[in-house]
Each structure stands twice: as structure tokens, then as C-alpha cells.
Amino acid sequence: MSGADPPRDTGGLDAAVAETMRRTGASVAAFYLLVPEREVLQMVTVGGVPADLAAPWARVALASPAPVADAARERGMVWIGDHAELTRRYPRSAVLLPYQLALAALPVEGDRLWGVLLLIWPGSHPPRTTRRERSNLASSSRRLARLLDEAADAGRPPTAPRTPRVLGAEDIRRPAGPEYLMAAADFAERLPEGCCALDLQGHVTFVTARGAALLGADPRTLLGTFPWQSLPWLGDPVYEDRYRAAVVSRRPVVFTACLPPDRWLEFRLHPDASGVSVQITPVAAGRHTGAPAQNAPDAPAAPPGVPDTAPDAAPTSASAAPAPGFPTAADAAVADGAASGHPASLAPARLGQLYQLLHLAAALTETVGVRDVVDLIADQIMPAFGAQGLVLSTAESGRLRITGSRGYPPEVIERLDGLPLDTRFTPAGQALASGVPSFFGHPDEMARIYPEAPHVSGKQAWAFLPLIVSAHPVGICVLTYDRPHDFPAEERAVLTSLAGLIAQALDRARLYDAKHQLAHGLQQALLPHRLPATEGLRVAARYLPATRGMDIGGDFYDVVRIDAGTVAAVIGDVQGHNVAAAALMGQVRTAVHTHATAGAAPEEVLARTNRLLADLEPGLFTTCLYARIDLERGRARLVSAGHPPPLLRRPDGSALRVGVPPGPALGIDEGAAYPVTEIDLPPGAVLVLYTDGLVERAGTDIEEAIDQLTGRLATWSAEDPERLLELLIGHAGPAERRTDDIALLLVQRTPGTAGADRRP
């Protein structure tokens, strides 16, 4: 992750997180600050892992499926006992942490919800927490909340840095004295095998003369470097991953590697909270034979896309296979052409960037509409690469239409929107035509060929990423920076690979949006725009689609005025969530409306509609509830075709479930009969008709859910049907958790008051 250095901790937050690690025995800890205005959790400080490992999860959208986001939304602890549970519940997080571990995410709440504390333990931790441990975790969260409350009261509230502060070993453990350090160095030098030490970031902090000799390097050139960078033959990501596995799992890891041309070495990694000690031992001739890199017993396996093997007999290191369907960074040509002044280059990405790519790829597969794609790029991809601006354009009718942006004033977006595909105003047209990304690290580079572009945008660096799907240009993604920005070859490689994934997600999202708009338009055209005004009757109705990401369904409602003193209320649910369901819904509503206005009895209305659907053979079944209300007598006659029972709130405030014997769903049995139930409907009574989306919950019996809703209905006021309708919808839970559509129709008999048209 690029950007300015994180600010120094001024409120003791880092010390508190380090103390929490010591108290709980966690190997990794991080504090996420809630940023309400952006609806994100931003990592402020982290300890126990390398900075680049934390980078992909340094910023988490509050709505994302992640443990820390769930802990913040639900205001409760999320516990993950092992990696299998993490994979099952949070597959995207499991991609980032492919190691055996246990995990807890706890809300940090004092005067306000400050954020979330994340703690990770090695896989040796029991999969279940004890009561004592839960109490200890809760007290750790409270201590952190008190610290933040006090800092805020003192005028020093925590702020979200661009990059998180990373705790070093000296923060987590007190360093030993110089005499001890000298004795330890002497001890290591006397050992027959080679030794070296790495800190939690992966830097070489100590190496013995024997260790340096085995590695074929001068000790002075190794200190302070990453071994996979200072020793080219260890440059394969598979070896860096072995180090990561040791750091996160806190378990010994063993692997072999070949020092060209033919010297095989065995590396034994022994981790703890301060870093990793490495034993380096020559492998006897005949023992290596392509010996696999392996973990100690019960240690975690290599992550997806990274093989756990060393080379067979070649004088170079093993090559990590890419994850299925993803190009390797070395395959990604990141030539930006003569326009940028940078030569074409190929570079293998570091392991952290590969994990980042896998994480972002997994996130892109979860996007549904174009807005989802724009939000994901803004919330995760921009911070991951340190960008401050975004312009996402699609190719439409020979022009680049901006579908989303961040970090630009409206007047600039208006100036850039609608540029022709062959524009010479910016590099967007050339990049899209050639399919080759363009990178400009400084305004002078841009101004040499596109003199107006820097002045219009006010940005200082640009990455133009063409979005191509099957040789067809979909659009272009432009990441921009407020300051000059170098684009290292590795970063270009990852961005180029990422552009292909964005292109596929954007193409899929555009198709979904088109289909969704068609279905939504069809359904809105078929639902009533107004409910009829009837003397002595008040009505309220609402249709709510399911969680974003599902298609429009076939739920419907209607109120039919039969004569001056009689109305019919109907609600139904067509199986499915697609255009076919919406179309069938229109046919059912029309049929019911026609038979009702013709004066048919309630049982005949459903019987005739049922025969019609049986003749049409739509392949979908429909549930329906029909109520014919006699306003003068205060009676209602109800029939049901497999629909959930209505609820009745009496004038005295009591509520009950109306027992309506259900007949078969419409369209199944051509000769089905529908029994009639007659009830009193006194003035002030409210009849509640609904579809099953209002009461269905995963893992909950629907009969119990209906009883619970009936009990709540008795506690609410019925003076205003619209307000009562809102309370019923609120009982269904947050919109993001609904898995089915909801149609809701409330009918209240009033003593002689004139109704008014109400928009649903």
C-alpha cells in the first residue's frame, strides 16, 4: 500500500493494542476505527504480521461480508474457531488468511461505537472459547473503549491514517539488554548449522557467518533486507509464503530450496511473537530429489494458487502456479507505450500483491450492479494502490460515458463525460483502442502529449486501465493521484491483471442492470399505481424487493371496488424472481380483478383464476389470499390458495391469526376448491395481508414467526395504517438481510369516513 507514513500514535492506542495481545495471548491484533461518514472500518494499528499482509484488509466496508464488519453492525463478538469455519462463513477473508487460526472480532463501544478489535490466535487455539476467555476478551474491548473515550474528552479523538501503524517486536515484547544480545550472538555462531533471524516484517535482523556462507552472500548485504529480494533464488512467492505461514500460524515450517547450480538447503522456521528464527542446513546428496516444501506436523497448507513444492532438479526456484482463471503477474504485459515514456516491462508480483489480487478478485465476483463495481473500486482498490481519484467510463455509442467517479468536482466530470472513443484530449481513447495500459507518474509526462488534461483534472499522476472482455472494449478505469506517483513494474503488473477482472465484473454488472430495469419496469407497470378511495375504508400498501442482488419477483396486491359498499382486497405471490414471475403476476392480478368486478363469489374468484392458470401451464405456482369486505355489515369473507394466514388487529388492541383453510396454490389442481371463512370486521379493526417474505427467516419455523408477529401487532397503535405498515416492515429486519420480496396490504374499516387516494 502506498501513501504517506502513518502518523505517530498520540493517544496510547498502540500500547493498548500491544497490551491486549499480551493479555489474550493473541498472535495478531488490529484496531479498526469506524468512519461513519464513509461507512467503512479503517485499520489504525496492527501487530504481529507484516505490513503488506495487512494491506488488503486495512479498509473494510461496513456492509461487506467480513468478521469485523459483522461485529460492528451487530454490536457483538464474532468468533471463528478454525479455518474451516472461516472458509464457510467468510470465504473472501479466508482467501487473505489461508492459514490455520482462530479469530475474534469485538466491537469497541464506549460513549459511541469507536470501531472493532480484531484478534487472531494460532491454529493450536481450541475452536471454542471458555467463559473466562470471553470475559477476558470483553474486558479488553472495554479497556480500549475507555482509552478512546478519554482521548476524545481530552480533544484527541482517534483519526484514520492512510496506512495503519505496524507494531514492532519492541512494542509487543520488551527488548533484552546488550549483554544478553552479545551472549546470544556468540551462542548462535558456535552452532554447526547456519542461523538467521527475521522480524515480523520479514527483514533479516541477524545472520551467523555460517548462515551467510550457506546462503552464498555477504552478511552485510543481507542485514535489513528481505531474503526473497536480496537472494534472487529465493524470489519465488512460494518461499515468502512459507515465512507468512510461520508468522500467522506460529508453528514451525520446513522447506527446501536450491542455491544454483546444485546446492540444496533445508530451512526450518521457528516463529514467536517477536519474529522468526531460521535454521539453515545443507541437504545431503540424493535427499532432495525435488523435496517438497512442507510444514511441521499440523501446520497449515499453502494457500490457493501457491504450490507447496520445491523444484525437482532445476537450478532455479519453483514457480508458483497461478490461481485458476487468473493470469500471473509475469504474464501481464504492462507496457504503456511511448505515450508515458516508460518502457514495456514484465515483473513478477510479490506475494502480498498476489494475495491482494485474489482478495479483490473475490470481492469483484460478489458485485451485482454497476454501482456495486464503482463502490468496490472506490472502497478497496483505490486505497490498496494509494489512489485519490477514480473515473470509470463505459463505451457507449462511440463515446465514453462516465458511470462512476470519486475525488473529482462535478464540473470536471461534466467536462470529461461523453468524450469520443478516439479522443486526443486524454490518453483514455488510445489506451482503450490499443488495449495497453498507460501510466503517467508526473504532470509533465502527461503534458508532453496531452497538454490540456493535467489542467482540467488537477491531478498529478494517472493510471489508464483499458477494460477489455473477449477482445471487446467495455470501458476504461482511471486511477489518479493528488501527488506524483511512481508506478513500479510490480504494481503495473497487478493493476493490469486487475483491469481484466474489473472488465468482466463491469460487463456482467451492465447486463444485470439492464435485466433488472426491464423486470422492475414490468412489475411497476403491473402493480396498481393508486388504490381506490372508498367511503369507510382506509388502506395502506407497500411492495419491497428482496436484498439487492436478487431479481424482481412476483409479489402483488390489489384493492378492487365492487360496488358502493363492497370492496375486495387481494394479495399474492408468484414463485420465482425473474421476468417470467413478474409477467405471470400481471396475468393473475388481471384475472382476479376481472372475476371480482364481475360479481363472482370469493371461492369462485380463485377457482376461475386457478383454471385459467392450469390452462396456461406457466410452470410456476402462485399463492393468493382474497378477502371480500361488506362495509355496511362489517363482515369479510376470505379464501386462500396456499397463502400465509392474514392477521386481524381488533379495535380493543388485541390481535389474532385468522384461521383460513388454505386450498391448493393456483395452477396446480384444475378442479381445486377453496373453502370460505367469514369474520367480523368492526370499525377500527385492521386486516393485515402479507406475503411470506415478511415472516420467513432462515432456521426459524414460519408458524412461530407468524405468532411472534401477531404478538407484536397487539403492541402497536392502529390509529395510522401507514405508521403501522412501517412498524410491520421494520419487524422484518434490515433490508440487506431480506432474502425474499415483501408485499403488504393493510385494510382498516372506519365509521363513515371518506377515504382518499393513497399512493402505495
% of residues, the chain, pLDDT over 70: 82
* Residue 353: per-residue pLDDT: 60
Compute the average pLDDT of residues 9-24: 81
Respond yes or no on whether the N-terminal peptide bond of residue 528 is cis (omega within 30° of 0).
no
Compute the average pLDDT of residues 548-565: 76
Whether residue 668 is predicted with pLDDT greater than 90 in this model: the reply is no
Contact 106, 141 (CB under 8 A): yes
Contact 477, 363 (CB under 8 A): no
* Residue 699: per-residue pLDDT: 66
More confident: 200 or 279: 279
* Residue 349: per-residue pLDDT: 47
Q: How far apart are CA 122 and CA 700, in angstroms?
A: 35
Burial class of 547 by CB neighbour count within 10 A (0 to 12, 13 to 18, 19+): middle
Q: Which of 670, 755, 674, 671 is nearest to 721 (CA)?
A: 755
* Residue 614: per-residue pLDDT: 85
Compute the average pLDDT of residues 17-29: 88
Secondary-structure breakdown of the chain: helix, strand, coil percentages, each rounded to the nearest 5: 35, 25, 40
User: CA 636, 642, 646: angle at the middle one, nearest 5?
Assistant: 40
Whether residue 113 is predicted with pLDDT greater than 90 in this model: the reply is yes
Q: Where are the alpha helices (DSSP H) in 177-270?
A: 178-189, 209-215, 219-222, 227-230, 237-249
Which residue type sits at 326? F
Lowest-pLDDT choice from 25-34, 252-261, 283-292, 350-359: 283-292
* Residue 679: per-residue pLDDT: 94
Contact 668, 735 (CB under 8 A): no
Give all domains of the chain, ordered by start, each with its CATH number.
13-172 (3.30.450.40), 178-285 (3.30.450.20), 343-518 (3.30.450.40), 527-749 (3.60.40.10)
Q: Which of 438, 429, 433, 480 is nearest to 458 (CA)?
A: 480
Whether residue 252 is predicted with pLDDT greater than 80 in this model: the reply is yes
- DSSP for 324-366 reads TT---GGG-----HHHHT------PPPHHHHHHHHHHHHHHHT
| Mean pLDDT score of the chain | 81
* Residue 738: per-residue pLDDT: 61
Cα–Cα distance list, 457 to 46, 267, 453, 463 (Å): 35, 52, 6, 13
Q: How far apart are CA 441 and CA 447, in angstroms?
A: 11
In this prediction, residue 313 has a pLDDT band, given cuts at 50, 70 and 90, of very low
Whether residue 514 is predicted with pLDDT greater than 90 in this model: the reply is no
* Residue 759: per-residue pLDDT: 39
Per-residue pLDDT tens digits for 74-107: 999 999 999 889 988 888 788 777 788 899 999 9
More confident: 598 or 300: 598
Cα–Cα distance list, 634 to 567, 659, 690, 695, 755 (Å): 12, 18, 21, 28, 16
In this prediction, residue 364 has a pLDDT band, given cuts at 50, 70 and 90, of confident
In this prediction, residue 363 has a pLDDT band, given cuts at 50, 70 and 90, of confident
Q: How far apart are CA 453 and CA 295, in angstroms?
A: 53
* Residue 120: per-residue pLDDT: 93
Q: Where are the alpha helices (DSSP H) in 346-478?
A: 351-365, 370-376, 382-384, 410-416, 428-434, 443-449, 453-457
Burial class of 155 by CB neighbour count within 10 A (0 to 12, 13 to 18, 19+): exposed
* Residue 446: per-residue pLDDT: 92
* Residue 305: per-residue pLDDT: 35
Cα–Cα distance list, 642 to 342, 606, 637, 667 (Å): 68, 11, 16, 11
Compute the average pLDDT of residues 226-234: 88
Whether residue 733 is predicted with pLDDT greater than 80 in this model: the reply is no
User: CA 351, 357, 362: angle at the middle one, nearest 5?
Assistant: 130
Whether residue 202 is predicted with pLDDT greater than 70 in this model: the reply is yes
Grid cell of 449 as nine digits = 502529449
Q: How far apart are CA 597 and CA 529, in angstroms?
A: 18
Instruction: Count Cα atoms within 13 angstroms, Cβ side, for 524.
Output: 9
Lowest-pLDDT choice from 223-232, 277-286, 376-385, 448-457: 376-385
* Residue 300: per-residue pLDDT: 37
Compute the average pLDDT of residues 104-115: 94
* Residue 314: per-residue pLDDT: 30
Per-residue pLDDT tens digits for 415-445: 999 999 888 888 998 898 888 999 999 999 9
Grid cell of 370 as nine digits = 454497476
* Residue 87: per-residue pLDDT: 85
Compute the average pLDDT of residues 143-154: 91
Please give the model's pTM, rounded to 2 decimal places. Answer: 0.53
Whether residue 228 is predicted with pLDDT greater than 70 in this model: the reply is yes
Cα–Cα distance list, 63 to 45, 501, 547, 691 (Å): 21, 22, 12, 27
Whether residue 667 is predicted with pLDDT greater than 70 in this model: the reply is yes
Whether residue 709 is predicted with pLDDT greater than 80 in this model: the reply is yes
In this prediction, residue 274 has a pLDDT band, given cuts at 50, 70 and 90, of confident
679: left (phi over 0), alpha (psi -120 to 50) or beta: beta
In this prediction, residue 711 has a pLDDT band, given cuts at 50, 70 and 90, of very high
More confident: 175 or 28: 28
Q: How far apart are CA 391 and CA 414, in angstroms?
A: 12
